[in-house]
């Protein structure tokens, strides 16, 4: 569901779908990965099961 805020900030509908298919360098909204030192712990616990 697209809200009034989505429309106000141009963050809904086709805008998102057009951005998803672009490379990270071409996107209007920068995408960065921030790694947390313990982030892998959850994946390690899941893999142990």
Structural domain including 36 reads 4-48
Per-residue pLDDT of the chain (49 residues; tens, 9 = 90+): 677 887 787 766 778 888 889 998 899 888 777 788 888 888 888 899 8
Backbone φ and ψ for 38, nearest 5 degrees, come out as: -105, 10
Domains: count for the chain? 1
Amino acid 47: pLDDT: 92
Amino acid 22: pLDDT: 93
3-state secondary structure 24-45: CCCCCCCCCCCCCCCHHHHHHH
Region of 9 please: left (phi>0), alpha (psi -120 to 50) or beta: alpha
């Amino acid at each position: 569901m697209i809200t009034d805020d989505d429309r106000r900030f141009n963050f809904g509908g086709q805008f998102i779908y057009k951005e998803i298919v672009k490379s990270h360098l071409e996107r209007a909204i920068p995408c960065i990965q921030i790694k947390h030192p313990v982030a892998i712990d959850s994946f390690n616990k899941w893999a142990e099961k």
